[in-house]
Amino acid sequence: MRWHIVGSLFVLTLIGSMGAAEIYTPHARHTQLGLIDPNTGVGTNIGSFQQPDLRLVSGAFDNDGHFYSIALLPGNTDSQLARVDTSSGEATLIGEPTGEFLVPLEVSNDGTMYTVGYYWPEVLGDTTDLFTVNKTDGQITSVGATGVTRPMDLAFDSQGTLWLVSGGDDGNHLFTLNQATGQATMVSAITGVEEATESGAEIMGIMFDEHDTLFATAYYSSNAEFVSPLFNIDTASGVATVIGNTGFVNPHGGDYRYASTLLGDFNNNGVLDVADIDDLMVRVAAGENPMAYDLNDDAAVNTEDIRIWVKDLANTWFGDANLDGEFNSEDVVASFQAGKYGLDMDAGWAEGDWTADRRFGSEDLVAAFEDGGYGLGLRAAVNAVPEPSCAILLGIGMIGLCRLRNRR
């Protein structure tokens, strides 16, 4: 359900999937991205990772709503961080290979990304260390040994406790990890998985919801009724209870994406922020039309959706680089301090791109000053916008100064 705000009117639009919480997971033997309904366990395929030589074995959302995974290189010879487009499934490798055999992945509330070494010395892995991961270049830094040789997935609960599930020779067990030392403490042995699947299935994915309900996926099952089911697991007792059949073959790792009832909150963090408008403008620039970004339900994602996000949802002005509700000298200074004006460099909203062309140039300044909000304060407090001629003249003067500076 969506509330569209147009002027002082509230318009209610019904759409089927708005606000639904979902579990995202690699599946189809590590080649596809899928999502699972946590209420029914039913899985829906999203699309291929489009990396035929790689296997993606984990999944974690960061605080900006981006979805990351660990990709195993051909022959399990190395592992590398990847980012996955949740609307299409396409994966993009980040940086260089890590030099370690890694499987699980998770991100804390403060944005720190973690992974754990998978001990398989016959192939590559010879460590059980907990690592932090640099999301920019994919490189890892050791925290300390966990002592768990077959780590499968990581998950944070609402209290900030980092949980790990093991499989293989370690069996299905739940651990907590000390984030300062890496040391693992076993909490419970998981039961009920073999009975539900009629096989030696391993728990390969765990994820908490906002109520600290622990969900889990099983890697494989020979049971025709419960092929790779979704489970609830009692963390204290380890008892696993089947929710439903995912229909997926070998789901591996994954993360829970919280529901958001806030229209335009594309990263589901409960606020309208720069990450949201940047995400929308990237979609517009690329000519993509995912339904979640179509704010006026006209089957197209374009500049009109950007206008709705800025004016109707965020209730602010074009040019408000820091999204504090005002367009003033602070925004102009901040956008120029990013150092991208007039350069052929990707720019976001906070860096001066207010026209969705991924660049900061004179067109952005013209658009911002023509919007008429410069120096007027909070848009919510402005009932009638005066003629913007003075603001436009100021903007034209600034553009002239910028061009003169560039010539020098």
CATH number at residue 169: 2.120.10.30
pLDDT value of residue 169: 67
Same domain, 183 and 329: no
Residues 248 and 295 in one domain: no
Residues 281 and 167 in one domain: no
139 against 211, higher pLDDT: 139
135 and 47 in one domain?
A: yes
- pLDDT score recorded for residue 18: 41
Contact yes or no for 152/169 (Cβ under 8 A):
no
Characterize the bridge pairing of strands 129-133 and 113-116.
antiparallel
Q: Are residues 136 and 220 in the same domain?
A: yes
Least confident of 46-50, 70-74, 292-296, 363-367: 292-296
Among 229, 257, 285, which residue terminates a domain?
257
- Confidence class of residue 143 from pLDDT cuts 50, 70 and 90? very high
The count of residues in the chain is 408
Percent of the chain exceeding pLDDT 70 equals 83
Task: Mark whether 52 and 136 lie in a shared domain.
Answer: yes
Q: Which is higher by pLDDT, 124 or 318? A: 318
CA R_g for the chain: 24
Q: What is the pLDDT of residues 35-89, one digit of tens each?
A: 999 999 999 999 999 998 899 999 999 987 899 999 999 877 899 999 999 989 9
Residue 373, in any domain of the structure: yes
**DSSP character for 179?**
T
pLDDT in tens, 222-232: 555 556 899 99
Residue type at position 398: M
Q: Per the structure, how many domains does the chain have?
A: 2
Q: What does the block give as tokens for 263?
A: 């229209």
What backbone phi and psi angles, to 5 degrees, belong to 254?
135, 180
Residue 122 burial by CB count (10 A; 0-12/13-18/19+): exposed, middle or buried?
A: exposed
pLDDT at 388: 47
pLDDT, averaged across the chain: 86
At residue 295, φ and ψ (nearest 5 deg) are -75, -20
pLDDT band at 361 (very low <50, low <70, confident <90, very high): very high
In a 13 Å sphere around the CA of 76, the CA atoms on its Cβ side amount to 13
Instruction: Kindly state whether residue 2 falls inside one of the protein's structural domains.
Output: no
Same domain, 174 and 307: no
Q: Please tell me whether residues 233 and 293 are part of one structural domain.
A: no
Dump pLDDT digits (tens) for 159-198. 999 999 998 766 899 999 999 999 999 999 999 887 766 6
Residue ranges making up the domain that contains 111: 22-257
Domain edge (last residue) among 228, 257, 286? 257
Q: Is the domain of 171 the same as that of 310?
A: no
Structure tokens at 244: 């439903």
Residue 331 exposed, middle or buried by CB count within 10 Å (0-12, 13-18, 19+): buried
Alpha helices (H) along 151-210: 193-197
Which of 26-35, 269-278, 399-408 has the lowest average pLDDT?
Answer: 399-408
The helix (H) or strand (E) run that includes residue 392 is helix 389-407
Co-location of 78 and 223 in the same domain:
yes
Q: How far is C-alpha 52 from the geometric centre of its chain's CA atoms?
A: 23
Q: How confident is the model at residue 12 (pLDDT cuts 50, 70, 90)?
A: very low
138 and 182 assigned to the same domain:
yes
The candidate with the shortest Cα–Cα distance to 115, out of 89, 147, 170, 153, is: 153
DSSP assignment of 107-130: E-TTS-EEEEB--BTTTTB---EE
- Take residue 180 and report the two structure tokens written for it: 């300062």
In angstroms, the CA 64 to CA 372 distance is 30
Q: Could you give the CA distance from residue 235 to residue 216 in angstroms, rounded to a whole number? A: 11
Q: Is residue 15 assigned to a domain?
A: no
Type of residue found at 73: L
Of residues 7 and 43, which shows the higher confidence score? 43
Residue 113 lies in a domain: yes
- With CA atoms as reference, report the closest residue to 68 among 81, 57, 55: 81
Strand, coil or helix: 337: helix
The answer to whether the CB of 375 falls within 8 A of the CB of 385 is no
Distances from the Cα of 189 to the Cα of 51, 77, 250, angstroms:
35, 31, 21
Whole-prediction pTM: 0.69
Other CB atoms within 10 Å distance of the CB of residue 7: 7
377 belongs to a structural domain: yes
- For residues 55 and 91, what is the distance between their CA atoms, to the nearest angstrom? 11
pLDDT per residue as tens digits for the range 371-387 = 999 999 998 766 544 44
Domain membership of residue 200 (yes or no) is yes
Do 232 and 371 fall into the same domain? no
pLDDT at residue number 381: 64
Which residue did the predictor score with more confidence, 125 or 119? 119
Residue 253, in any domain of the structure: yes
Query: For residue 5, is it within any domain?
Result: no
The C-alpha atoms of residue 244 and residue 227 are separated, in whole angstroms, by 9
Out of 195, 227, 257, pick the residue that ends a domain: 257
